[in-house]
Amino acid sequence: MKKTHVHSGMYAAVLSQAVGRAVLLWCVIILALVVWLFGIADISARADTVETQKLMFQFQNTRTKKLVLHQPDLVAFLSGAGSGALNADITDHRGTLTFSSSVDRRLWARVNGRWGEDGQRKDKYGFGAMGLHAYVRPSLIVGGMIEADYLSQAGTVSDKEGLGAMAGPYFLARNANHPLFFEGRFLYGRASNGVRLLGDSKERPDTRRTLAQLKMSGQLRYGITTLIPSILASYATDDVSPRGGGSLPEQGIRLRQIKMRLGFRHTLRQMNGAPFTLNGGGALSSTSTRRYGSDALATVNQRDGHGRVNLGVSYFTQAGGAIVIDSFVDGLGASTSQNYGLKAAFNIRF
């Protein structure tokens, strides 16, 4: 009986150890599954966040370039050239709208709108500006302006939308010896945005924006030759703050752009009392976009520059007719292919 009792105890101990090992193994397997599942979910969440950051950067980049491009030209308030206008071109799936008030008023307004639909992609953009200025001297204007812009890009993969406003001072000055005009502005504002990948919740980050511009333009006359210089320098920022709403980390862009042009008109001879003129010139443009923020973004800083030259002749008759021939080469120094061509226009009145 004693021997049987000892064997039973040994069998019970062996069985208990086997059950313990099996339970421990299952615990390890379950723990590994939990870690694996949570790790995959975390990686997926990080991947979605990175994609949303890239989407937001692309939206910031597009919006900032449009903001710089649509800034109103204020030189007309000193030169007196130009007038109020309203233009609209609307079809079933796209349209454009522009409005500008008269240049002889101290309170002015500018509006630009564009919308279009291409398959399942829909784009909308609107820009409006209003300002008020005073004449400190006949050759100096100081004023203030407010701007608002809206951009919406909807497609099959993502939706992007933003509404912003900016305000700040501006000035206009004229050289007393030559018809050269100087223009400057500094604007500060905010924007509310919404970006969403298909199937995900929408992020709603707010951004802070600044814009500074300096411009010089005009004409320099030297006998029968007229030089037409123009320089425009722009600096714009758009920053996302973690405290501005949404869960995106802090990120932003810096846009620097400079455009230079020098044109000329040279009267070759008079034909029947009307000038036969040689026209030409060259232009250079350089744009640099710098991204900063999360290291997870793979977007590199962008730099683009290109040049353009043109040469042609024109003849305007006293009766109002015109003959214009112009040749051009565009894309000099750019990474893309160059464009060149020849244009001719005839306008005869009788």
Per-residue pLDDT tens over the stretch 270-287: 766 677 889 999 999 999
Note the pLDDT of residue 205: 82
- Separation of alpha carbons 97 and 215, rounded Å: 26
Domain 2-347 part of CATH 2.40.128: yes
> What is the mean predicted confidence (pLDDT) over 159-165?
89
- Separation of alpha carbons 148 and 130, rounded Å: 9
Q: What is the pLDDT of residues 81-124, one digit of tens each?
A: 777 888 988 887 889 999 998 888 889 999 999 998 887 788 99
pLDDT above 90 (res 215) = yes
- pLDDT band of residue 315 (cuts 50, 70, 90) is confident
Q: 171 with 184: CB under 8 angstroms?
A: yes
- pLDDT band of residue 43 (cuts 50, 70, 90) is very low
% of the chain with per-residue pLDDT over 70: 78
| Structure-token match 């511009």, residue found | 213
Other residues' Cβ atoms within 10 Å of the Cβ of residue 246: 18
- Separation of alpha carbons 35 and 210, rounded Å: 45
Quick one: CA dihedral 97, 101, 102, 108, positive or negative? negative
Structure tokens at 305: 């520059």
Q: Which residue pairs from 67-73 have beta carbons closer than 8 angstroms and sit at least 24 positions apart in sequence? A: 67/127, 67/149, 67/209, 67/211, 67/236, 68/211, 68/213, 68/234, 68/236, 68/255, 68/257, 70/112, 70/127, 70/149, 71/129, 71/185, 71/211, 71/213, 71/234, 72/100, 72/110, 72/129, 73/183
- pTM for the model stands at 0.77
Domain boundaries, the chain: 2-347
- Separation of alpha carbons 290 and 329, rounded Å: 29
- pLDDT band of residue 2 (cuts 50, 70, 90) is very low
Structure tokens at 270: 């008079």
Note the pLDDT of residue 4: 44
